[in-house]
Structure 1
Amino acid sequence: MRLLLRFTAALGVVVAMTAPAHAVTTYDADVTPDILFGNGVDNGAFTVDTANGVELGLRAKLRFDDNNQAQNIFNSNGDGTYSYEAGLPPTGFGFAAGSTSTAVWSFEWSINTDVDGTSGQVLSDLTYQLQIDFDPSAGTNFLTFDPINSVNPETSTVQWDHAIGNNSTPNGGGASISNGASNVAGYNTAITNNNVAQNSWNMEFFDGGSFPFDGRSRGIYEFVLTAFDGGTQVAQTSMTVYSTPEPSSLALLSLGVVGLAGARRRQRRRNAAAEDQTDAPAEA
């Protein structure tokens, strides 16, 4: 889905509260019920957390092949990390003319608030936090916002273009509320009547200001998706994308770099569990 965004640091609000019940992260997993945002887009290769009836998934995908076409290629390393060659699409495609911030890979997320069909919980019952790392180094620079309930800066309304559905929605069958202030009511109806939302985004959609991105940069980019019920964290998943020098390096990533990224993820989770912050995620 094309949703050209330009966020500012003001959207980096947030945060977390009580830690969730223990849950096990599953790698290379399907999300429930299927991929809703495109016919023929394969399920699978997600890094998934399922806890308290909520399923959260993240993955990276090849967005541009040699013909600038998306492929069902996920380059998962089987441990919550994904590897892609640094560089721009082969014919210079960019969502903005002359852009150098279009990554050849995209990141995809999935939220299901009633994965086992027993709670009746819908998307609007919870708040969320999506963190996107724009620092290619060992450090992090997170753009943080609620992808369901926050204001979309493109429309200046609480209304996004996600594929939305329920546990019976088939592949490619998600309803997408097109951009525009006149569709806010339709979007609100969708999130109060459904339990699944998904989207596929490129880093370029968010590039700018305090969050610059260059598709040619080699680096390590982390993503964290969290769901909250009131002030309580109920589920969280995370992944790391390696932007590597060349295709052959995909199988030869330094163990030191991989270990560093893993240590960063573990430390972040420990810090999040230890924090007792009073600021809650924005609600619609």
Structure 2
Amino acid sequence: MIKFKTILAAAVVSIVGVGAVQAAPVNGTGDLQGGVVFGSGNANGSFTGVNAFGVELGLRGKLRFDLNGDPQNQFNYDGDRTYTFDPALSNAPGNRAIWNFEFSLDVSQTPSGTFATSGWDFLIGIDTDPSAGVNLAFGGPFDPLLYSDNAGGPSVAQNSQNIGFAAYGAADPQAFGTYTISLFGTNGTEQLSTSIDIVVAPAPVPLPASALLLLGGVGAMGAFARRRRKTA
């Protein structure tokens, strides 16, 4: 059976030490090989992950609450490992993060093609404190195949989760900062891992056109003055 267990620092070090964390679009495109199977209306794409040894791991962040409080297929993905969300563009309940993290595990390309006999175990690590440093942990045992919105059969497990859920124990699920989510897999010989950062912060305010023109004029005046000094 697929297993999700608490990740402590020692476990993270032992796995990551032999399998470098991946930070690239899964399959080079960001699309899961079998598509998205957890619930209708969820689009494929923008997944960070790895596909090797017949196993595919995928993670992404998604806007869970827009200004109307509805979910959107909006990922704000930088093409590497980072997903950024502006609280000003969201209307989330106070006990929920404005974003969800979404994961996918697929063992369909292993010789057995099922979790029960693939020999792979999986761990998920969630840093619910967006302050400096990464402290991966999980609130308890977690088997995603038990979730009713999983439609991937015996070889695919996918789901969408919010750190505001009680099991995650986030002190403030709407705090500004960077949240790290990591996904690990091992069969005792091979190891795979992928990791993403969810950044919650106000979007940079662009300078008005008048300020840009002023800066351009000041730069031009400085260049002109330097040329005059050189000529003199």
The two structures have a TM-score, normalised by structure 1, of 0.59
Q: Is the 8 A contact 2:23 2:80 kept in 1?
A: no
RMSD value, Cα: 3.1
8 Å CA contact retained: 1:25, 1:50? no
Aligned partners of 2:64 and 2:98 also within 8 Å: yes
Counterpart for residue 35 of structure 2: 34
- Note if contact 1:34-1:43 (Cα within 8 Å) is conserved in structure 2: yes
Q: Indicate yes or no: 2:201 matched with 1:237.
A: no
Aligned residue type for 2:66? D
- For residue 18 of structure 2, what is the aligned residue in structure 1? 19
How far, CA to CA, are the matches of 2:159 and 2:122 in structure 1? Answer: 14
Q: Tell me: CA distance 1:195–1:212, structure 2 relative to 1, closer, same or farther (3 Å).
A: same
Q: Unaligned stretches of 5+ in structure 2?
A: 207-232
Where does residue 204 of structure 2 map in the other structure?
248
Residue of structure 2 in register with 1:6 after alignment? none
Aligned to 1:199: 159
Aligned mates of 1:24, 1:215 — CA distance in 2: 26
| Structure with greater contact order relative to length (CA < 8 Å, sep ≥ 6) | 1
Among 116, 119, 129, the alignment partner of 2:123 is 129
Rg (Cα) greater in structure = 2
2:177 aligned with 1:214: no
* Structure 2 Cα separation of the partners of residues 24 and 139 of structure 1: 19
2:214 maps to none
Structure 2 CA distance, aligned partners of 1:235 and 1:145? 22
Mapped to 2, the partners of 1:238 and 1:57 lie a distance apart of 9
Secondary structure in 1 matching 2:185: strand
Alpha-carbon deviations, 1:20-51, whole Å to 9, x = none? 4x896532511121111121211000001111
Q: 1:233 to 1:226 in 2, by over 3 A?
A: farther
- Alpha-carbon offset, residue 201 of structure 1: 0.4
- Percentage identity across paired residues of the two chains: 31
Change (3 A) 1:65 1:19: same
| TM-score, normalisation: structure 2 | 0.71
Deviations 1:64-100 (A, max 9, x none): 111111111001011110101247952x53xxxxxx3
Paired residues of 2:84 and 2:198 also in contact (CA < 8 A): yes
CA distance, structure 2, for counterparts of residue 215 and residue 24 of structure 1? 26
Change over 3 Å in CA distance of 1:232–1:139 after alignment to 2: same
- Compared with structure 1, are the counterparts of its residues 249 and 119 closer, same or farther at alpha carbon in structure 2 (3 Å cutoff)? farther
- The unaligned stretches of length 5 or more in structure 1 are 1-9, 94-99, 153-157, 165-173, 176-189, 251-284
Over 3 Å counting, the alpha-carbon distance change for 1:23 and 1:119 in structure 2 is farther
CA displacement at 1:205 relative to structure 2: 1.3
Task: Specify the code of the residue in structure 2 equivalent to 1:19.
Answer: V
Cα distance in 1 between the residues matched to 2:167 and 2:199: 18
Residues 1:226 and 2:206 are matched in the alignment: no
CA distance in 2, matches of 1:144, 1:233: 23
